[in-house]
């Protein structure tokens, strides 16, 4: 594993992904150091208390908007996992300049600092909302993805690699519908925007382990997409709040009925493996042989939550929630 005996830095490291990533890496691997880079000193203090006195863990206050701070933080770093982003969709619509500064200009700062500081590999977290985006958050993440995909063109003879991981909703994460349903059921009524809605789901641990595996397999310029199960929003509601009244409130601005992770256009340069897909870059430096073990997709293929062949029924949804949300069984139904 490339993560062993290396120094790893996580931007946005005090978030839910960063905390789970740190937990798994410190427990299951042998990194030299894990550096948490984030803006929030309180969350860093709380994280320090959580993980105790592990001498492999370091904390670095900074913002991806501040290129000078990134240059300082990246000294001696081998691997960077870029998880920092502004991602609340309504806030993004109201504060577009701020989101652009973090999600797009911050990505450019990461790329330039990584190249100049000799970082070996950078993997950026993306979102299904970057595929055919309909809101500003998705549009900024699409721009960010394009920057990381093209970054190899700026490296020259240096061996710095950049790739992207794209996946769907994380079970129980802040901003997902699951915490909302759990809170709403206390009132006896839950709100659904549209009963036809479908979503991909991944647990936090699955997301972290997928990113770690992609650090090993990346060449540069790829977008890695895990194969995930789909659920119907009505089935999810039935598991979380079976006795509640359902109020249909209508689809919100910037919201999709179904999630897309691979568009028809991208599928033409995508290769399929047993448990993931790789969207390859269209640049002269990309070697087609990098995906020689992958299978080309049929013409017209779209990887969307409504066309998926892997679905969770209500019993499987319940098991997923029990595994991902501590105490879910004790919450009652």
Residues 6 or more apart whose CB falls under 8 angstroms from that of 52 comprise none
- What distance in Å separates the CA atoms of residue 261 and residue 294, rounded to the nearest whole number? 18
The catalytic residue positions are: 129
> What percent of the chain shows pLDDT beyond 70?
98
**Mean pLDDT computed over 1-13:** 96
Q: Which of these, 195, 100, 174, 111, lies nearest to 148 by C-alpha position?
A: 111
The CA distances from residue 307 to 171, 199, 259, 268, in Å, are 20, 11, 10, 17
Domains of the chain with CATH codes = 7-331 (3.40.50.720)
List all residues 6 or more positions away from 147 whose beta carbon is below 8 Å from its beta carbon.
104, 107, 108, 111
Residue range 256-271, pLDDT digits in tens: 999 999 999 999 999 9
Helices 16-28 and 41-51 sit at what angle, rounded to 10 degrees? 30
Average pLDDT of every residue of the chain: 94
Segment among 50-59, 78-87, 187-196, 324-333 with least mean pLDDT: 324-333
Distance CA 101, CA 136 (A): 12
pLDDT at 247 over 70: yes
The pLDDT tens digits of the residues spanning 274-327 come to 999 999 999 999 998 899 999 999 999 999 999 999 999 999 999 999 888 877
Give the residue from 82, 80, 25 showing the smallest Cα distance to 57. 25
> Coil, strand, or helix at residue 184?
helix
Number of neighbouring beta carbons within 10 Å of residue 164: 26
pLDDT band at residue 89 under the 50/70/90 scheme: confident
- The answer to whether the CB of 321 falls within 8 A of the CB of 178 is yes
For residue 90, the SS3 value is helix
Is the distance from CB of 333 to CB of 321 less than 8 angstroms? no
Q: Pick from 129, 128, 142, 122: which is nearest to 82 by CA?
A: 122
Contact between residue 54 and residue 26 where contact means Cβ atoms under 8 Å apart: yes
């Amino acid at each position: 594993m490339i993560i062993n005996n290396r120094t790893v830095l996580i931007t946005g490291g005090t978030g839910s992904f960063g905390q789970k990533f740190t937990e798994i890496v410190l427990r299951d691997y042998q990194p030299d150091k894990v550096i948490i880079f984030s803006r929030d000193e309180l969350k860093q203090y709380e994280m320090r208390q959580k993980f105790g006195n592990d001498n492999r863990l370091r904390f670095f206050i900074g913002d991806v908007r501040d290129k000078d701070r990134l240059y300082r933080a990246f000294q001696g770093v081998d691997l960077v996992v870029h998880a920092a982003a502004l991602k609340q969709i309504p806030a993004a619509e109201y504060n577009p300049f701020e989101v652009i500064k973090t999600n797009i200009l911050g990505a450019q700062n990461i790329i330039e600092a990584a190249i100049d500081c000799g970082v070996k590999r950078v993997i950026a977290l993306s979102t299904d909302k970057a595929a055919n985006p309909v809101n500003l958050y998705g549009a900024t993440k699409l721009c960010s993805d394009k920057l990381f995909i093209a970054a190899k063109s700026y490296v020259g003879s240096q061996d710095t690699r950049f790739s992207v991981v794209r996946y769907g909703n994380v079970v129980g994460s802040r901003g997902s519908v699951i915490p909302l349903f759990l809170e709403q059921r206390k009132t006896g009524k839950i709100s659904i925007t549209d009963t036809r809605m479908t979503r991909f789901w991944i647990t936090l641990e699955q997301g972290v382990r997928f990113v770690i595996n992609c650090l090993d397999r990346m060449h540069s310029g790829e977008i890695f997409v895990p194969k995930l199960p789909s659920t119907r929003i009505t089935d999810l509601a039935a598991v979380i709040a079976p006795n509640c009244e359902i109020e249909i409130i209508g689809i919100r601005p910037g919201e999709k009925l179904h999630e897309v992770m691979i568009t028809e256009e991208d599928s033409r340069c995508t290769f399929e493996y047993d448990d993931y897909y790789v969207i390859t870059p269209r640049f002269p430096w990309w070697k087609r042989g990098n995906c020689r073990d992958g299978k080309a997709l049929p013409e017209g293929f779209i990887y969307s939550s409504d066309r998926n062949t892997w679905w969770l029924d209500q019993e499987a949804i319940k098991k997923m929630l029990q595994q991902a949300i501590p105490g879910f069984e004790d919450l009652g139904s």
